[in-house]
Amino acid sequence: MTASIGEMRHRLSLQAPVATADGGGGATRVWSLVAEVWGALKPASGTESFEADRMSARVSHEIWIRHRAGVVPEMRFALGTRIFEIRAVIDVGERHRFMRCLVEEHVP
């Protein structure tokens, strides 16, 4: 499966975690914008489970973007109110043209 430039129609926020002091000796994780990128969002699979006495769903997607150095699984993408946690980053064909990010969206 591949993505063409024409399919990269979603404006995604690439975010990285930043630890900030919480005033009590600990740290709180907040998300900082790294870049706004165009990407293709392709649903791959979904599951439902019963967690904490309620039904929870997880949907897996592939997000394709142009190659960008420094994208790692600790980051995430945001599309409006939707959050996609990066699970793996693949340099497609190892040619530094496109990146295929395997992500997971948590659905309440």
Which domains does the chain possess? Answer: 5-107 (2.40.10.270)
% residues pLDDT > 90 (the chain)? 62
Low-confidence ranges of the chain (pLDDT < 70): 1-2, 46-52, 55-59, 108
Please tell me the predicted confidence (pLDDT) of residue 20.
87
- For residue 3, the SS3 value is coil
How much is the pLDDT for 49? Answer: 65
Exposed/middle/buried for residue 108 (C-beta within 10 Å: 0-12, 13-18, 19+): exposed
Contact 84, 103 (CB under 8 A): yes
pLDDT at 102: 94
Query: What confidence score (pLDDT) does residue 22 get?
Result: 83
| Predicted confidence (pLDDT) per residue in 50-73, tens digit | 666 776 666 699 999 999 999 999
pLDDT of residue 57: 63
